[in-house]
Structure 1
Amino acid sequence: MKEVKIESMFTVYEDLSELPDDIQQLMQSAIQTREKAYAPYSKFKVGAAILLDNKEVIIGSNQENASYPSGLCAERTAIYYAGAKHPASKILKMAITASSQNQITDSPIPPCGACRQAISEYEIKQEQPIEIYFMGATGKVIKSNSLSNLLPLAFDRGFL
């Protein structure tokens, strides 16, 4: 038997003002999109903004449904739209923000497991890391240089 240690590295910014200008703009797109989320059941709104290598920004917000499994997270809404509209473009950066009407969300909120798997698929497909920035409604912002920091043992096509 052998033990294996897996480590992840993140950069933590105290607030939006510490981010580089281009990331501040990307996060502002995510914040504006978050407010357009359809979340009447959970009252938990999420916005995502993706920067493609063709300089286009693709946005997505969570879309709930009374039949809960039928809804879709903001990250997957944006990433699937990017894949459908620009299949040859690479995803460079993703900004994610979440807020709740039920409680204060002032700590960074990372993508859920299903979204991590979806982002992983695109990162593996494009053979290039995707920078991911995530935050709550306010407060600190965490940067991951790659989805592999958030999902180090990803399931991919190599297992099929």
Structure 2
Amino acid sequence: MKIIKIESEFEVYNGLNEVPKQVSELMVYAADARLKAYAPYSEFLVGAAILLDNGEVITGNNQENACYPSGLCAERTAIYYAGAKYPDAKIVLMALVAGSTKHKTTTPVPPCGACRQAISEYEVKQDLPINIYFMGETGEVIHSKSLSNLLPFVFEKAII
């Protein structure tokens, strides 16, 4: 038997005024996308913005459905669109803004497990870390330098 110790490291910023300019600009795109989300059931709106290495910015938001499993998270909406429209582009940055319509969300909201797995597919495919910044509506912003930092044991094509 052996023991594996896994450590993750995150940068925590007090607010958007502390993050790099390129990140704060991307967060504005994510916040705008969030306001266009279709979330009548959960009333939890999420916006995602992706900066590609070709300079394009792709946004997405969560899209719910009365048949819950049929909906799609903001991160996957954006990343799948980026992959469909710009299949050879690499993802440089991803920004996420999330919050409830019932109360102010000040706690940073990371990608869910399904989204982490979807993002990991692109990180593995491009063989380049994806910087992910996430926040609530206001407050702290957390930065992960790669998806593997959020999901250390990824299920990838090398396994199957």
Category of TM-score, reference length = shorter chain? over 0.9
Shift of 1:159: 1.1
Segments of 4+ moved more than 6 angstroms = none
* Counterpart secondary structure, 2:123: helix
Counterpart position of 1:40: 40
* Counterpart secondary structure, 1:60: strand
Counterpart position of 1:61: 61
Shift of 1:104: 2.5
* Counterpart secondary structure, 2:121: helix
How far apart in 1 are the matches of 2:107 and 2:33?
19
Counterpart position of 1:135: 135
TM-score by length of 1: 0.99
Moved more, 75-84 or 15-24: 15-24
* Counterpart secondary structure, 1:58: strand
Counterpart position of 1:148: 148
Counterpart position of 1:71: 71
Please list every run of 5 or more consecutive structure 1 residues that lacks an aligned counterpart in the other structure.
none
How far apart in 2 are the matches of 1:60 and 1:4?
36
Letter of the 2:121 partner, please give it.
E
* Counterpart secondary structure, 2:151: coil
Please list every run of 5 or more consecutive structure 2 residues that lacks an aligned counterpart in the other structure.
none
CA RMSD, Structure 1 to Structure 2 (Å): 0.6
Deviations 1:22-81 (A, max 9, x none): 110000000011000000000000000000000000000000000100000000000000
Counterpart position of 2:97: 97
Letter of the 1:94 partner, please give it.
M
* % identical aligned pairs: 66
Counterpart position of 2:52: 52
How far apart in 1 are the matches of 2:5 and 2:103?
35
* Counterpart secondary structure, 1:64: coil
